[in-house]
Chain A
Amino acid sequence: MPKKVIQKTFRAPPKKKGTRPKKTEAKSKAIEGSRIGVFVCQCGSAIASVIDVEDLTGYARTLPNVVHAENMNYPCSRQGQDEIVAAIKKNKLDRVVVAGCSPRLYEPTFQRCVSQADLNPWLFEMANIREFASYCHQNTPQEATEKAKDTVRMAVAKARLLEPLKPIELPITKKVMVIGGGIAGINAALDLADMGFKVYVVEKTETIGGYMALLDKTFPTLDCSICIEGPKMVDVGRHPNIEIISFADVLKVDGYVGNFKVRIRKNPRYVIAKNCTGCGECKEACPIEYPNYADMYLGVRNAISVPYGQAVPLIYTINKDYCIECFKCVDACGAREAINFDQKPEEVEVNVGAIIVAIGYDMYNPEDLEWTGYTKFDNVFTALEFERLILAAGPTAGKVVRASDGQKPHSIAFIQCVGSRDINRYEYCSSFCCMYTLKHAVMLKEKYKDAIEVYVFYNDMRSNFKGYEEFYNRAQKSGVKFVRVKLENRRITQDDQTKNLTVYGETEDGKPISADVEMVVLANAAIPSSTAPELAKILSITLNKDGFFVECQPKIRPTDTDMPGIFLAGACQGLKDIPYSVAQGSAAAAQVAAVLNKPNWIVEPLVAKVNEETCSGCRVCESACAYHAINVEKVGDKQLAKVTEGLCRGCGICSSACPMDAITMPNYSDRQIAAQIGAVLQKEAKT
Chain B
Amino acid sequence: MPLKTLKKDTVDALTLEWVLHVKDYKLTLDKNRCVGCQICTFACPKEAIKTEKQPKLSGEKARKARIDIDLAKCNFCGICDVLCPYGAINVALDGKHILSVVEKESFPQLVRDIQADSNKCSTNCVETEEACPLDLIKVSWLAPDGKTVENVSSAEGLKPKIDVQKEHCPCCRVCEIKGPEGVMHVRKFLCGKIGIHPEKCPEGCRDCLDVCPITGALYLSDEDKKVYPDERFCVYCGACKLVCPVDGALELKRTKIVHTPIRSGAWNKALERLTSPIGISKELKTKSSLKTRESVKKRLDLKGEQYA
Residues of A within 8 A of B (CB): 285-291, 296-300, 303, 321-322, 324-328, 331, 363, 365-367, 375, 382, 384-385, 389, 395-396, 401, 403, 524
A324 touches B79 (CB 8 A): yes
CA distance A92 to B237 in the complex (A): 103
Chain A residue at smallest Cβ distance from B74: A322
Residues of A within 8 A of B106 (CB): 285, 287, 324, 326, 328
CA distance A594 to B64 in the complex (A): 74
Report the minimal beta-carbon distance from B302 to chain A, rounded to whole angstroms.
Answer: 24
**With A287-B107, A289-B100, A325-B45: A363-B21 Cβ-Cβ less than 8 Å:** no
**With A324-B101, A326-B266, A328-B106: A291-B20 Cβ-Cβ less than 8 Å:** yes
Some 12 contacts from A to B, beta carbons below 8 A apart, are A285-B104, A288-B77, A288-B101, A289-B23, A290-B75, A297-B3, A298-B22, A299-B21, A303-B75, A321-B46, A326-B106, A365-B1
Q: Does B210 contact A (CB under 8 A)?
A: no
Residues of B within 8 A of A (CB): 1-4, 18-23, 45-46, 75, 77, 79, 100-101, 103-107, 263-267, 269
B21 touches A287 (CB 8 A): no
B20 touches A365 (CB 8 A): no
Residues of B within 8 A of A298 (CB): 20-22
CA distance A660 to B266 in the complex (A): 67
Report the minimal beta-carbon distance from B1 to chain A, rounded to whole angstroms.
Answer: 5
Chain A residue at smallest Cβ distance from B3: A297
B101 touches A326 (CB 8 A): yes
Chain B residue at smallest Cβ distance from A293: B3
B21 touches A327 (CB 8 A): no
State which of B4, B18, B20, B104 has its C-beta within 8 Å of the C-beta of A328.
Answer: B104
Residues of B within 8 A of A288 (CB): 75, 77, 100-101
CA distance A300 to B94 in the complex (A): 13
Majority-rule SS of B interface residues = loop
Report the minimal beta-carbon distance from A175 to chain B, rounded to whole angstroms.
Answer: 37
B2 touches A300 (CB 8 A): no
For the complex of A and B, the 3 pairs showing the least CB-CB separation, nearest first, are: A326-B106, A298-B21, A326-B266
CA distance A244 to B263 in the complex (A): 37
A325 touches B1 (CB 8 A): no
**With A297-B2, A324-B45, A365-B1: A291-B18 Cβ-Cβ less than 8 Å:** yes
Residues of B within 8 A of A363 (CB): 1
Residues of B within 8 A of A325 (CB): 45, 265-266, 269
The total of Cβ contacts below 8 Å across the A-B interface reads 91
Residues of A within 8 A of B23 (CB): 289, 299-300
A297 touches B75 (CB 8 A): no
B75 touches A322 (CB 8 A): yes
CA distance A389 to B104 in the complex (A): 28
Report the minimal beta-carbon distance from B143 to chain A, rounded to whole angstroms.
Answer: 44
Chain A residue at smallest Cβ distance from B107: A326
CA distance A389 to B266 in the complex (A): 35
Residues of B within 8 A of A384 (CB): 1
Chain B residue at smallest Cβ distance from A285: B104
**With A287-B101, A287-B103, A385-B1: A327-B22 Cβ-Cβ less than 8 Å:** no
For the complex with contacts A325-B269, A366-B1, A403-B21, 13 further pairs of A-B residues with Cβ separation under 8 Å are: A287-B100, A289-B100, A300-B20, A324-B266, A326-B101, A326-B265, A328-B106, A328-B264, A331-B263, A363-B1, A375-B2, A385-B21, A396-B22
CA distance A375 to B46 in the complex (A): 26
Residues of B within 8 A of A285 (CB): 104, 106
Report the minimal beta-carbon distance from B97 to chain A, rounded to whole angstroms.
Answer: 15
State which of A326, A366, A367 has its C-beta within 8 Å of the C-beta of B267.
Answer: A326
B2 touches A367 (CB 8 A): yes
Residues of A within 8 A of B269 (CB): 325
Chain A residue at smallest Cβ distance from B93: A289
Residues of A within 8 A of B101 (CB): 287-288, 324, 326
**With A296-B1, A324-B45: A287-B77 Cβ-Cβ less than 8 Å:** yes
A328 touches B105 (CB 8 A): yes
B22 touches A297 (CB 8 A): no
